[in-house]
Amino acid sequence: MDFDLSPEQTQLKDGVDRLIAATYGSLDARQQLAREPLGFSETIWMRFAEMGLLGIPFSEEEGGFGGGPVETLVVMEALGKGLALEPYLATVVLGGGAVRLGGSAALKERVIPGVVEGEARLALAFTEAQSRYDLNDVATTARASGDGWVLDGAKCVVINGDGAGHLVISARTSGSRRDRDGISLFLVPADAPGVKIHGYATQDGGRAAEIALSGVAVTQADLIGKEGRGLPILERVAEFAIAALAAEAVGIMAALHGLTIEYLKTRQQFGGPIGQFQVLQHRAVDMLMALEQARSMAFYAAMMVDHADAAERSAALSAVKVQINRSCRLVGQEAVQLHGGIGMTMEYLGAHYFKRLTMIESLFGDTPHHLRRVGAAGGLAA
């Protein structure tokens, strides 16, 4: 039992912390980057590639660097602290995760080297108008046609869907809308005929897209995993996504808690710093407890995301998301409250942390969704 980073992990952390500090040193710098056409800087993205960040989860045979969940945790925590806008989650964890976990050797060879080098960006299109957080709820169809399929349907809130060269799309090759079987995953070029992408800004300063699919032709070579067996891959990707978001949330909460403590020490009212008041002190401690409990669960996620027993793993990651969501809510709301009026302004960094924490709650399952899953599993393994 050991919670220390290895020397290599420490080196990675120092490197990514330095990069984030240099590029996201101020809120102004970040907001400037957000106004780029794709909502992030392609220059910084290439710096990510040069540092090797984009190859972390891929094995050396796949063209990556063979990092594990702890390396991803280190990177995501740093990205959280900087409120980085680059599509790391969308490309490396989600789209890249689907290819890594489900793709054939040929498909990996086609996709992963480009991702690692920063040339290819991906997005995962799985949410639909009716699906909410249920990965198995897929109305988009993939109708067999000749050697391949034709996709029809619509995907919603595709994170960084307008900045990706390729989309990983879930579509139904058989069965009815909520069946677990019959879902297939396809890799589709964003500019394929019949794909219409409508990008927009998200509340947290990022980008997402609504994607319409109309008679989009795909081939056997574009299929990720086996036909009709896409759901287990999606579920694995979602587990990695929760682990990554947990680390990002911890990075944000630690930074936001730090800002709040600083404010309590400097803001003067009634002839002294407001941090002298016990009622505010106790709320700052409540924030600290929520942060530390979240940090523990981010570690737990890193430990459990490769756990062999699928049922235990699934319940564990749901438990992680419940705790992360709860902590995001408490730390975000309390930070705004303890800051008072300034916490309500667009010009204040803390407000942007709060907004991202709130959006994290709604990614890959909110609190009731995951509480239901843990309850249905009968709780956690001892």
Residues that bind another protein (CB under 8 A): 1-6, 9, 70, 261, 264-265, 275-276, 278, 280-282, 284-286, 288-289, 292-297, 299-300, 302-303, 319, 322-323, 371-372, 374-376, 378-380, 382
For residue 265, the one-letter residue type is K
Look up residue 10 and give its two tokens.
């420490």
Task: Find the helix or strand (DSSP H, E) in which 132 lies.
Answer: none
C-alpha to C-alpha distance for 99 and 121, rounded to whole angstroms: 12
- 221/289 with CB nearer another protein: 289
CB 251, min distance to another protein, A: 16
- 106/279 with CB nearer another protein: 279
- 150/301 with CB nearer another protein: 301
- 51/371 with CB nearer another protein: 371
CB 345, min distance to another protein, A: 24
For residue 166, the one-letter residue type is H
- 13/110 with CB nearer another protein: 13
- 76/294 with CB nearer another protein: 294
C-alpha to C-alpha distance for 309 and 298, rounded to whole angstroms: 19
Tokens 């287990």, located at residue: 232
C-alpha to C-alpha distance for 49 and 43, rounded to whole angstroms: 10
β-sheet bridge partners, residue 229: 183
Q: Give every CB contact of residue 226 below 8 A, 6+ residues apart in sequence.
A: 184
- 145/266 with CB nearer another protein: 266
Question: Cα angle vertex 344, ends 337, 133, to 5°?
Answer: 85
- 105/382 with CB nearer another protein: 382
CB 252, min distance to another protein, A: 17
Distances (CA, A) of 276 to 193, 250, 283: 63, 27, 12
C-alpha to C-alpha distance for 48 and 364, rounded to whole angstroms: 25
CB 280, min distance to another protein, A: 8
CB 111, min distance to another protein, A: 29
CB 59, min distance to another protein, A: 20
C-alpha to C-alpha distance for 52 and 58, rounded to whole angstroms: 11
CB 267, min distance to another protein, A: 12
* Dihedral, 37, 39, 43, 48 alpha carbons, nearest 10: -150
CB 43, min distance to another protein, A: 32
Q: Give every CB contact of residue 273 below 8 A, 6+ residues apart in sequence.
A: 264, 265, 266, 267
